[in-house]
Structure 1
Amino acid sequence: MSDSLWGYQPSSGHSTGAELTGYAVEATDGSIGKVDKHSEEAGSAHLLVDTGPWIFGKEVLIPAGTVTRIDHADEKVYVDLTKDQVKDSPEFDRHRHTEDPAYHQELSSYYMAFRLR
């Protein structure tokens, strides 16, 4: 795990400029949706995942630091989270939360709780 949730782990296989939109996103226990958008912004890198019908079309913002592996051949992104952890994450509103530092802090607190086991 990198020191920051908001940056890709060096071991993830992420390369700057790689297009991840449309890639399937896999939790540790199954598929959670597709990458709708992603950001590589330093200190704020993340995936915006459309969960589709799995949790009624909810969009979730997942910090890039949870990405464990990117498989470009199969167009899949693997995250070190369970489906329930993603499902129970703080609600995301695209129009209010994308650049909101307070929301990023809320997400950091939520996801870091799973790193301190």
Structure 2
Amino acid sequence: MIDLWSFTEQTGYAPGTDLVGFDVEATDGKIGSVDEETSEVGAAHIVVDTGFWIFGKHVLLPAGTIHRIDLQERKIHAAKTKEEIRNAPEYDKDKHRDDAAYRVEIGQYYEDNNERGV
């Protein structure tokens, strides 16, 4: 089982890299761009502004859902489909940093999808 809240070595993430503004690609196409990110130990994630794709919704992607980061092209490749990301729990800007139960809910959603092989 992977740690959803940490960047893996395979991503190419270098501590201190500012990912804000990077494009984000699901396995089946672009979903938006990074609006905010944190590399905080045990809570690393990005917040993606999906723009008009899903009506301006923001989604939180734990660092463990990121497959690869292309620093030259400023692109992040998520290991999730558009559908998985679209169906993720609603992003809550007031809870995502300090509410452990909210992070558990997000983590459980992505872990359940991994177990189903989605």
- Counterpart CA distance in 2 for 1:62 and 1:73 is 21
- Alignment match, 1:33: 32
- Counterpart CA distance in 2 for 1:49 and 1:112 is 19
TM-score by length of 2: 0.94
Any stretches of 5+ residues in structure 1 without a counterpart? none
- Alignment match, 1:19: 18
The answer on 1:82 being equivalent to 2:87 is no
* Structure 1 position 99, deviation (Å): 2.2
- Counterpart CA distance in 2 for 1:86 and 1:68 is 14
Q: Secondary structure at the match of 2:47?
A: strand
- Counterpart CA distance in 2 for 1:97 and 1:13 is 24
Residues 1-52 of structure 1: per-residue CA shift (max 9 Å, x gap): x631000011100000001000000000000100001000000000010000
- Alignment match, 1:45: 44
Percent identical residues = 44
* Structure 1 position 97, deviation (Å): 3.0
After superposing the two structures, state which structure 1 stretch, 82-91 or 94-103, moved more.
Answer: 94-103
Q: Secondary structure at the match of 1:32?
A: strand
Amino acid at match of 1:73: Q
Amino acid at match of 2:76: V
* Structure 1 position 96, deviation (Å): 3.0
Q: Secondary structure at the match of 1:94?
A: coil
Q: How many residues align?
A: 116
- Counterpart CA distance in 1 for 2:46 and 2:82 is 15
- Alignment match, 1:63: 62
* RMSD of Structure 2 on Structure 1 (CA): 1.0
* Structure 1 position 95, deviation (Å): 2.1
TM-score by length of 1: 0.95
Q: Secondary structure at the match of 1:47?
A: strand
- Alignment match, 1:73: 72
